[in-house]
Structure 1
Amino acid sequence: MRRLTALAAAAAALTLAACGQSSDKAADGASSKVLNLYTARHYDADQKLYDLFEEKTGIEVKRIEGRPDELIARMKAEGANSPADVFVAADAGALWRAQDAGLLQTVNSEALNAAIPENLREPSGQYYGFSRRARIVAYDPAKVQPNEIADYAQLASPRFKGKICARSGDNVYNLSLVGALIEAWGEDKAKAWVEGVTQNFARPPEGGDRDQVRAVAAGVCEVALTNSYYFIRMANGEDAADREIASKLRLGFPSLDGKGPHVNISGGGVTAHAPNKENAVKFLEFLASPEAQQIVTELNFEYPAANGAAPAAAVAPYADFTAHPMNVSRYGINQAKAQSMISAAGWR
């Protein structure tokens, strides 16, 4: 409750002026040459996307950035007068929260449905993925054998007592992972897994995914839960220390019931009261285009989402796997159960 109160307060404090931009609705209700974007992504690569979209369409992107729950609270408060056209988040669970709050609308786009695989989009068309990231593990190859982390279930075994690092349990990436486990295994087995992993922590959860990877390199733990692109970014970034760390560690790709690793999305949906709906659909279609997919994988080290799109050269060595085919909407649907299990297990 304290977290929700803080988020609501932060949402109220967000203003369009904070980004030095305005977002007027078209006076006659028709689409103007503007797109009002509420985004929870904060990557440098995204500016390249906005610039290219503006260049190709002449539509100006006016954006508000914030945490997903802040932006959702803001749209709730704005109601039918919200200027938002598109909501973007870096996790399917966050997109589901917006959908569950009635803040998104169905999009019927042949281009999107052709480009984005069925399991990477909400079944009714309320949101679409435009990039993928696997929730997998970084490990120390001097201490861990690949066959010991071949399946997510193994992370909860006594073998890894005091050997695992992870970020906080209420982080949406972990909520989505547990949501996927609930869908695949059922509640009892997923609950036992959460309890086992929590008991296997080398330290109380702290920091982000890259902090967990660094903790493995420092000997604090042997295995860390992480999103793939964080590790790949460390391996290819400008920080020499992070490159050195990544060179000594490995990425492991546990399978879920033998069907492949759990893969999440970054994605977006058209808002329920979008004043520029036509522009909003164009923007989502652009994100699925070959040019945009190339930017996402080359500059942010994510896996592309669109059919036929290839990972960048730096990403390709980590892309030789078949992802679990579960529809990403299931992560959010199971989110409340996942949070309950995580909290009960003491995964703080």
Structure 2
Amino acid sequence: MRMKLAATAAIALTALPLTASADGEVNIYSYRQAYLLEPLLNAFTDETGVKTNVVFAKQGLAERLEREGRNSPADIVMTVDISRINELVEKDLVAGVESDTLNKNIPENLRHPEGKWYALTTRGRLIFTSKERVEAGEIASYEDLADDKWEGRICTRSGKHPYNIALISSMIAHHGEEATREWLEGVKENLARKPQGGDRDQIKAIAEGVCDVAIGNSYYYGNMLMDENQRPIAEQVNLVFPNAEGRGTHVNISGISLTKSAPNKDNAIKLMEFLSSPSAQRIYAEANTEYPANPEVKPTGLVAEWGEINPDGLSLQEIANNRNAAVKLVDTVDYDG
């Protein structure tokens, strides 16, 4: 039922007309699903009186902004994954924001050095293991995935998916390209099957006995636990927070940017600041199985039950800068072949 409501809300929001300029409004292009945004935007309007208009899409927002150019009605883009956010920066579609409020609320490693994007939530790139076939403590780091003890026992989605590209990019930042190539070759040799499906499919594969270890976002695991049909599958795996005792677990983000064309710039910045505030971050945390980006706000519900995450403090922009090298490595080792 929840997913039906989400789909309906997305359609309704997409249908809202956007005007190029209007007092008391802010126009949003969003990759984030409507049911996640609705409570946040309602709270913002209640507090400020500023109306929000949203266009929801699964893909193509950068291309849409390019086509619209200076005439775009969009003030803000809300997106997931550092690669998608950085695409907006590379295409010069977003503007820097100078805001003491945002800089106070969002840690330095979770924002662009010139204010061209700010994280709103984070999700860990975790290792999932079979409760039946993997002992606690047998695997503790991303580096362990290349150990030959896991030969034929690992499942992942495509190496070229943005979530895996971000992970590989972080490995390059920590170890360099050559060491990361050797690591990626080792992971490939340990695969139980050709990379396929999404993150949920990797957890399903463990439950079906296809593999014993998988890589996936904490966000998807949480969503499976909240779905009565998928919960029995998710309950067959244990969570591992990789590198928890060392540099920390790699995290990806959902984030927000101000467009260069923003006709309602002041209201847009007001919304960005609101979304980074403790009150809005608590709403976000309660609506979704992600971690708040604002360190003042603690996780709630299922996320809190998993235990405290030690996130990698590496700058997400540094990770984004390694994207092309990561894509090249995936091709070099023929990871998906």
TM-score by length of 2: 0.92
Return the letter of the residue paired with 2:31: A
Q: Which residue of 2 aligns with 1:41?
A: 32
1:21 matched to 2:16: yes
Give how far 1:205 is off.
Answer: 2.0
Q: Which residue of 1 aligns with 2:3?
A: none
1:195 matched to 2:188: no
2:318 pairs with 314, 323, 330, which one? Answer: 330
Q: Which residue of 1 aligns with 2:7?
A: none
2:237 pairs with 203, 226, 249, which one? Answer: 249
1:291 pairs with 279, 286, 292, which one? Answer: 279
Distance 1:200 1:43, change over 3 A: farther
Give how far 1:340 is off.
Answer: 1.0
Q: Which residue of 2 aligns with 1:11?
A: none
Q: Confirm or deny: 8 A CA contact 2:28 2:77 kept in the other structure.
A: yes
Give the number of equivalent residue pairs.
Answer: 326
Q: Confirm or deny: 8 A CA contact 2:45 2:51 kept in the other structure.
A: yes
1:85 matched to 2:80: no
Separation of aligned partners in 2, 1:233 and 1:275? 36
Distance 1:257 1:99, change over 3 A: farther
Separation of aligned partners in 1, 2:255 and 2:171? 21
Can you give the 5+ residue segments of structure 2 that lack an aligned partner in the other structure? 1-10
Q: Which residue of 2 aligns with 1:228?
A: 218
1:260 pairs with 248, 252, 255, which one? Answer: 248
Give how far 1:44 is off.
Answer: 2.0
Separation of aligned partners in 2, 1:104 and 1:294? 27
Separation of aligned partners in 2, 1:180 and 1:257? 17
Deviates more, 1:56-65 or 1:305-314: 56-65
TM-score by length of 1: 0.89
Separation of aligned partners in 2, 1:256 and 1:92? 21
Separation of aligned partners in 2, 1:310 and 1:256? 18
2:301 pairs with 309, 313, 319, which one? Answer: 313
Q: Confirm or deny: 8 A CA contact 1:165 1:221 kept in the other structure.
A: yes
Give how far 1:177 is off.
Answer: 0.8
Give how far 1:261 is off.
Answer: 0.6
Task: Classify the secondary structure of the residue corresponding to 1:315.
Answer: helix
Give how far 1:18 is off.
Answer: 8.7
Separation of aligned partners in 2, 1:158 and 1:43? 43
Task: Classify the secondary structure of the residue corresponding to 1:308.
Answer: coil
Give how far 1:319 is off.
Answer: 3.7
Give how far 1:171 is off.
Answer: 1.4
Q: Confirm or deny: 8 A CA contact 1:151 1:257 kept in the other structure.
A: no
Deviates more, 1:89-98 or 1:286-295: 286-295
Give how far 1:260 is off.
Answer: 0.8
Task: Classify the secondary structure of the residue corresponding to 1:149.
Answer: coil
Q: Which residue of 2 aligns with 1:273?
A: 261
4+ aligned runs moved over 3 Å, structure 1: none
Separation of aligned partners in 2, 1:242 and 1:224? 17
Q: Confirm or deny: 8 A CA contact 1:37 1:61 kept in the other structure.
A: yes
Q: Which residue of 2 aligns with 1:97?
A: 87
Separation of aligned partners in 1, 2:261 and 2:211? 47
Question: What's the CA shift string for 1:227-256, capped at 9, x where partnerless?
Answer: 012112222x132x4222222211111118
2:227 pairs with 201, 224, 238, which one? Answer: 238
Question: What's the CA shift string for 1:198-247, capped at 9, x where partnerless?
Answer: 22221122221111111111111111111012112222x132x4222222
Question: What's the CA shift string for 1:123-159, capped at 9, x where partnerless?
Answer: 1111000101000111113222343321111101211
Task: Classify the secondary structure of the residue corresponding to 1:83.
Answer: coil
Q: Which residue of 2 aligns with 1:132?
A: 122
1:65 pairs with 52, 56, 59, which one? Answer: 56
Return the letter of the residue paired with 1:46: L
Separation of aligned partners in 2, 1:341 and 1:161? 21
Question: What's the CA shift string for 1:174-206, capped at 9, x where partnerless?
Answer: 111111111111101111122221222211222
Give how far 1:317 is off.
Answer: 2.1
Separation of aligned partners in 1, 2:115 and 2:278? 20
Separation of aligned partners in 2, 1:135 and 1:238? 20
1:121 matched to 2:111: yes
Can you give the 5+ residue segments of structure 1 that lack an aligned partner in the other structure? 1-15
Separation of aligned partners in 1, 2:215 and 2:70? 40
Give how far 1:17 is off.
Answer: 10
2:330 pairs with 318, 342, 346, which one? Answer: 342
Return the letter of the residue paired with 1:231: Y
